[in-house]
Every structure is written in C-alpha cells, then in structure tokens.
Structure 1
Amino acid sequence: MEKKKKTLKVSIYTQKGGVGKSTMTVLLASVLHYRLGYNIAVLDCDFPQHSLVNMRERDKKAIMESDFHKKLAVKQFNSINKRAYPIIKCKAEDALETAFNFIENSAVQPDILIFDLPGTANTKGVIGSLKGMDYIFCPITADRLVVESTLAFSDVFLKLPAQNANVVEQSLFLFWNQVDGRERSGLYEAYQTVIEGLSLNMMETRIMDSKRFRKEIDDTGNYVFKSTLLPADMPILKATRVDQFVKEFLKIIKT
C-alpha cells in the first residue's frame, strides 16, 4: 500500500502587529495553490477577528461586482479546474486537532496547511500550535522594537521543550518584509550580525514594500495582488520579490 505523503504544517508568525503576517499568508497560499499546483488549506486561528475568513467573503463580493475580476476567476477555474483553497475558522487552542480532522476527511490530501495564528504569544493555544509546526517563517521590518521583540521571541521559543512525544524537528526562518529601497543597507547588515550571533536562520529574499500590500481586489481596478481567490499578477510579484520568496520557501521545505 502506497504511503501517504506527509502534509506539512507551516505558519507565517510574528507577535508584532503591522509586519505583514496575514498578508504574506494570503500571497503565499494563493501563489502555491492557483499558480504552482499545490493543494493548500489555510487555518484562520486569529480569534475573534478571523481576518482571512472575512477577507474571503469580501473577495467573493468584489469578484461578483467586477467584470474584470469575474472574467479572471472564470478563466482561472477553466484553466486549473480547481476550487479555491479552503479557509478554516478555528481557535489557536484547537488548531492542531482541526488540522488533523481536516486532513483525515479531505478527498484530496493537502500538501501544505498554512496557519494564521494570533499575534499575542500568550493567547491560549498559540505556543502549543507553534510547537506543532514543521516550519515557522517570521517577518521582520527594520524597526528596532520589531527586531528586538522577534529575536527575543525566536530565541526563547526554540529553546522550549517539546509538548508531546510526536515532536517534529522544527525550523524557524526570519525574513525581511516591507523593505524600503531608500533605507541604508548598513542598517540591515548590523541587524544581520546580531541575528547570526543568535544562530537564527535568515532567508536571503527581502520583500520590497509597496502600497499594493495595503489594497484588496475591491480597491485595485484592473490588477490583482492580495486576494484569497486569485493569484497575484506576476509583474507585481517580481517587483516586490514575492516570487523569489516563494522559490526560496519551496527550497527550504523541499517540495
């Protein structure tokens, strides 16, 4: 009997707000599912706001009200013959059990589950769920408070003991997000030295900042960037280097 391929559990996580956690989750999930052929599911554990569940509803409405986006959606479905990836609402404390039940009951086994967890680490269930991830990717910006907070959290988190016998070998990677091309590179190099001193992993790709990160498809006109139903346009992916991020992400998780 052929052994099932393991479904990877991944979280883009930071305990600092405004650093792009949920946005990067959507961009990554949409590129992987709609453009690269992976079967993705997203668990929105960010109770009570559940921003990704609500975003999916806004996306549905926006597509129905826009001829441009409606045509893209029809073309996409006819091309890949694939439904939108599911966004599953749950609480952080129930995230791993919800993921297990979803995998067990899915007609098509997901390749990757992406967890959007609350940014407050002391929220019930957050640390336990993070300890159940195969990979954690932490966005950071060139802000002293963001960097110091993320480095402190990462250092402490990786030293925490496993919470069960079925522990996974965890990998945590930091990556620069919302990079302003006008910022002096020496600032990043100084932070890099500190990060290396803590023996933390840093991705090579730096995500460039863009006003498009702050817009959803009901506010974009004739292009797509942040959407749970459509993949971002390739020219914008390249301009922001999200395309390079996805390639490096796949190399890290080895799929």
Structure 2
Amino acid sequence: MEKETIFIAVGNQKGGVGKSTLTTLIASYLHYNTQKKVAVIDCDFPQHSVFRMRNSDIETIGQNPQLQAALQKQFAATGKKAYRIIESTPARALGYARELAAEGDTRPDLVLFDLPGSVDNAGILNVIFNLDYIFVPIIADKRVLQSSLAFIMSVERYRQVSPEALRLRSIFLFWNKVDKRESTELYAFFDRIVRAENYKILETQLPDTKKYNKEISPGRSPVFRSTLFPPDRKLLKNSNIEALVHEMSNIINL
C-alpha cells in the first residue's frame, strides 16, 4: 500500500527560535540529499520568509554564471528540480497541502508548513490539527521556554475539545542554538521542566553556530541555507542537521 503524504511543521509561537531556517534546512537536505520528494507551504503571514528566500535565491543565481553552472550540475547529477514552495494564508494552507497530496506520481512524500507564531491566527488551528507531527525548537531562555510550553499547552487544550477530529499524532520538542559555554545544569533544569509535563523531547541538539546564516551570495562561498542547494557537506559537519533529519524521519516513518 502506497504511503500517504506526511504533513509536519517546525513550529513555535516565539520568534527567534529558528523555525523558518530549520524548515528550509530540513526541506533542502531531504529533497536534494535523499530520494524523498518535498514541498513547503509558507503560511507564516506576513513574513513569508521561506518564500522570499526562494525569490532571493533565484535572483542571486540569475546574476552569477558560476552558481548557474552549479545548479545545472546538481540537476544533471540528481535529476531533481527545486522543491515547490507555496506562499499561502493560514486559511488556504491546508487546501494547498491536500491538492499536493492528491497529485499521484508527482505528489510529495512530505509537506512542511512554515507556521505563523500565534495559534490565534485565523485558520492556523485547522492547519495544526491536520498535521501529522509538530516539532518545536526551544532555546535555553526562560521566556522562550515558557512561550514554547504555552504553545504546546494551547494545542493540547484544543485537542481535548474535539479529539475525534484531529489528525495530529504527536508533538516533539528539541534543543536549538545550544551554547556549550552555558551551564549544562541550565539545560538539565529545563529538561526536567519539559519532562515533568510529559512532553517528548528529541535526543538531537543543534549547536549555536553562525554557519546557519550562510546563504547564497554573489560570491561562490559555501552555502548552508538555501532553497535551491543542499547544505554544503563541509558545513554540515558538527551542525547536527543530518542527525536531526534522521531522528525525525524515524519518528514520522518517512
């Protein structure tokens, strides 16, 4: 029996935790480095960061013959075109996802949603409840953690109102922007808070590193975050992105 398209999101109602960056990195790694077909629905209104990055990538490559050649070489090696990124309102996002999932041979294996921060945004609850999984990045900051837990609690509270209508299978937290200079006791303390609430947390932790900001530029420097290229192999080292994608893939049975 053919697997259905899986719907996931890297979501958090607190800004600055890296959800759009991680959505892009996960999508690009899976699409360009594996055999999986991916699509992204950017319903993070009004920022639309992932959609804007795609436009910026196209514009920069159009001005750089070296990048154009690299893109042609990538296509020749993989046969994969760029994954689709759909700019959407939260209210329209689920309809787009269902249209993608019904495409037959061209349908994606995975649709990632880039969500707006607030669950009060019109239409976003309907999207959240029709996801298969949500992965919530957290950082070692008291206010961020409180906001992240409030986000999960809001979702869980709404789930209890009409559980029979929900597709959402599970929510997982994971540490992002981990600074080795910070006390390990601080992370252990936050871990105890999360586990005391019986929330699931991934084993993979992502380090705090500037390599996440390395986008396509007119000069052909190594690229880490792009919608048209996979993360550079050298920059992937010690980023834990591969480990994160592997752990997520095992959970969602991708």
Q: Same fold (TM over 0.5)?
A: yes
Q: Which residue is equivalent to 2:177?
A: 178
Judged with a 3 Å threshold, the aligned counterparts in structure 2 of structure 1 residues 21 and 93 are, in CA distance, closer, same or farther, namely same
Whole-Å separation in 1 of the counterparts to 2:195 and 2:174: 13
- More moved, 185-194 vs 57-66: 57-66
Superposition pairs for residues 76-225 of structure 1, below 5 Å? 76-105=74-103, 107-161=105-159, 167-218=166-217, 221-225=220-224
CA contact (8 A) 1:11 1:117 kept: yes
User: Which residue matches 1:40?
Assistant: 38
Q: Unaligned 5+ residue runs, structure 2?
A: none
Alignment partners' CA distance in 1, 2:115 and 2:67: 29
**Alpha-carbon deviation of 1:103?**
2.2
Contact 1:42–1:113, Cα closer than 8 Å, also in 2? yes
2:240 equivalent to 1:241 = yes
Whether the 8 Å contact between 2:214 and 2:223 is mirrored in structure 1 is no
Q: Alpha-carbon deviation of 1:98?
A: 1.4
Per-residue CA deviations over 1:69-108 (Å, capped at 9, x if unaligned) read 3232111100111110000111111111111122224651
| Structure-1 separation of matches of 2:253 and 2:99 | 25
How many Å apart are 1:213 and its aligned residue?
A: 1.9
Q: Which residue of 1 aligns with 2:69?
A: 71
Offset, 1:64: 2.6
| Correspondent of 1:17 among 15, 19, 23 | 15
The alpha-carbon deviation at position 49 of structure 1 amounts to: 2.7
Counterpart secondary structure, 1:207: coil
Q: Which moved more, 1:137-146 or 1:215-224?
A: 215-224
Aligned mates of 2:162, 2:131 — CA distance in 1: 12
Instruction: Return the alpha-carbon distance in structure 1 between the equivalents of residues 75 and 177 of structure 2.
Output: 31
Q: Comparing 154-163 with 68-77, which one deviates more in the overlay?
A: 154-163
Question: Could you tell me how far 1:164 is from its partner in structure 2?
Answer: 7.9
More deviation, 98-107/244-253: 98-107
| Code of the aligned partner of 1:158 | E
Distance 2:229 2:188 in 1: 36
Distance 1:173 1:164, change over 3 A: closer
> 1:133 corresponds to which letter in structure 2?
L
| Deviation of 1:252 (Å) | 1.1
- Count of matched residue pairs: 253
Conservation of the 8 A alpha-carbon contact between 1:8 and 1:113: yes
Unaligned runs of 5+ in 1: none
Q: 1:220 to 1:131 in 2, by over 3 A?
A: farther
Given that 2:7 and 2:132 are in contact with CA atoms closer than 8 Å, whether structure 1 keeps it comes out as: yes
> Could you tell me how far 1:25 is from its partner in structure 2?
0.2
Partner-residue secondary structure (3-state), 2:217: helix
In angstroms, what is the RMSD of aligned CA positions?
Answer: 1.7
Q: How many angstroms does 1:189 deviate by?
A: 0.3
Counterpart in 2 of 1:253?
252
Over the matched positions of the two proteins, sequence identity in percent amounts to 38
